[in-house]
């Protein structure tokens, strides 16, 4: 597998887009496309649809492909899309990745297979390698998704090294949701000069990341606070940068006092005056009224808003 | 949902059937049916196809359904089947469970959705409840699959209590792969008189389980040692029982010195003189030659065999 010669990569703030469900728990295609359009016009450089915050693993491959096709048909440029395509089943990962490449998506954000625990780097290498070889498309750009607190299966530096050596240009970067800045820094120090783009998994590390060579961030709260977060990206070399960073860190602090995914949905429901947004798929549950009241009132008190929603 | 009036339930030793893959990693339907037939004639009362040891989560729903249909067409009675049908995605769990009920499978062994960690009993209750309601078939018999060392999401006693109260007769039992005898005992003490059938997830607890009211076991090594394990089930009230139990516990001890799933495949490859059995799907890897030699030579020294394979 050789990478396609020139291909612009996404840099900046990406939202792992929350997925709206109807009351019968089916994915709400129209509301999804509408939210994606709002995110793009509100500062997001790209959309990491089908991430952890998207409840992606609570959906079948078919349901995700229907949403992805609707998004591209709905006018969101595929060049701004970095869908999650990693599954436990090799066959699912191959199918989803192949279709996303066919649709022209800029990159793929790939979880390791996460059912078996304590698996070896050799086993994980084979997983990613099989996906790359079977998809067999030089346009494929793979971003490795390191989120040990949820997947419980890590993307180690050793694994990255091996994959980069075998598939340079195809293996394009990582999202680091370890919450461990030292790990993000190590990824940057070791691999950024090999065309490996690192995105911290929280805007809390956005400015530090950019200063160390990172390319932006892929962050849950990008769903509700894309404008302010993208201002840090746009102004990171300015004198204002630290102050802007402090602002978005404070907003994040309010949101993460309650469970993140239902919180993002409650916030969107409230500020968009669209109560159906609250619906989550099991095993998640929506916020309690008390939790929702807390997060909304603290956000309001901080001056938070979602203009144009 | 009311359960169908009379329906015989599986009791005895069940194997979570290992899945053969061709060298291109596609499921090998013919070899699968052959192995299932051998298991049934070698002492298994039933087959828990698509369990952890089956690499079930490394396969798509479509791949599993193809295997299941071939099995039923191939003459393995559906009344002996307890396929794994639990996935992270509600839609996948519903689809797989619905098809398995349609094919007449005796029970479904359901993992909780295992991507998100730290989820609530309420969220898990909703997951199982949605599957039961959407499948909407009174023949459904659900066995809850508790395997915290792998899934990292537990089936608590509180959750069982709630599900049993809401769906008596439909919620039919559990496989307890916690490896914690106290938990198995607690399940038995609290729920066995409500028609809740408990199967320890290892034959190490088979005799203790039967003496406490358990219905058998669902065990990895049932794939290679079904005859001896089923002898414990058949003779558990006899004077020989403890001695028989000691024998199967010793065999288990040899096998689990090396990684279990590739070990079962190596053993089957060796004793069946069928090297293709060694293939596993990523993220698993086959045994090293040294590991394989160790387990095979220790098994041979113990007098182990796989008659009729």
- Summarize pLDDT for B83-130 with one digit per residue, the tens: 999 999 999 999 999 999 999 999 999 999 999 999 999 999 999 999
Q: Is the pLDDT of residue A6 over 80?
A: no
Give per-residue pLDDT as tens, B53-63: 999 999 999 99
- Selection from A57, A35, A94 nearest residue A226 by Cα: A35
Partner residue facing A120 (CB), from B119, B130, B285: B285
Q: Is the pLDDT of residue B308 over 80?
A: yes
pLDDT at site B162: 98
Q: Is the pLDDT of residue A234 over 90?
A: yes
- Selection from A88, A87, A29 nearest residue A97 by Cα: A87
Put simply, the answer to whether A91 touches B63 (Cβ < 8 Å) is: yes
Residue A126 touches chain B, beta carbons under 8 Å = yes
- Which residues sit opposite B189 in a β-bridge? none
In this prediction, residues B34-38 reach a mean pLDDT of 98
Q: Cα angle at B304 between B303 and B306, to 5 degrees? A: 140
User: CB-hemisphere CA count at 13 Å for A297?
Assistant: 6
Give per-residue pLDDT as tens, A27-70: 999 999 999 999 999 999 999 999 999 999 999 999 999 999 99
- Selection from B166, B217, B148, B220 nearest residue B188 by Cα: B217
List CB contacts (< 8 A) between A282 and chain B: 90, 113, 123-124, 126-127, 130
List CB contacts (< 8 A) between A115 and chain B: 52, 57-58, 114, 150-151
Beta carbons of A19 and A70 less than 8 angstroms apart: no
pTM of the model: 0.97
Cis peptide before A283 (omega within 30 of 0): yes
The Cα B234–Cα B229 span in angstroms is 9
Question: Exposed, middle or buried: residue A8 (CB in 10 Å: 0-12, 13-18, 19+)?
Answer: exposed
Residue B27 touches chain A, beta carbons under 8 Å = no
Q: Measured in whole angstroms, how far is the alpha carbon of residue B98 from the centre of its chain?
A: 19
Residue B233 token pair = 């089930």
């Amino acid at each position: 597998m050789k990478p396609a010669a020139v291909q612009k990569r996404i840099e900046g703030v990406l939202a792992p887009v929350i997925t709206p469900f109807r009351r019968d728990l089916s994915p709400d295609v129209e509301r999804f496309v509408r939210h994606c359009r709002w995110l793009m016009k509100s500062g997001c450089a790209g959309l990491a649809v089908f991430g952890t915050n998207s409840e992606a693993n609570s959906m079948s491959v078919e349901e995700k492909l229907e949403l992805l096709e609707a998004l591209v048909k709905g006018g969101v440029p595929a060049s701004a899309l970095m869908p999650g395509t990693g599954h436990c089943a090799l066959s699912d990962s191959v199918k989803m990745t192949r279709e996303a490449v066919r649709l022209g998506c800029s990159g793929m954000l790939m979880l390791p297979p996460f059912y078996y625990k304590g698996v070896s780097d050799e086993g994980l290498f084979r997983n990613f390698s099989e996906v790359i070889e079977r998809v067999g498309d030089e346009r494929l750009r793979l971003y490795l998704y390191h989120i040990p607190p949820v997947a419980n299966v890590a993307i180690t530096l050793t694994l990255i090294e091996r994959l980069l050596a075998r598939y340079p240009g195809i293996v394009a970067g990582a999202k680091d949701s370890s919450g461990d800045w030292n790990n993000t820094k190590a990824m940057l120090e070791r691999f950024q000069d090999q065309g490996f783009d690192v995105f911290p998994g929280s805007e809390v590390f956005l400015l530090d990341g950019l200063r160390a060579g990172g390319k932006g961030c892929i962050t849950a709260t990008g769903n509700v606070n894309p404008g302010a977060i993208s201002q840090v990206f746009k102004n990171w070399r300015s004198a204002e940068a630290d102050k802007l960073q402090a602002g978005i860190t404070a907003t994040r602090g309010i949101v993460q006092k309650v469970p993140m995914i239902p919180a993002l949905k409650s916030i969107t429901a409230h500020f968009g005056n669209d109560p159906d947004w609250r619906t989550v798929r099991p095993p998640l549950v929506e916020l309690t009224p008390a939790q929702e009241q807390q997060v909304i009132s603290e956000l309001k008190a901080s001056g938070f808003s979602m203009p144009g929603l």
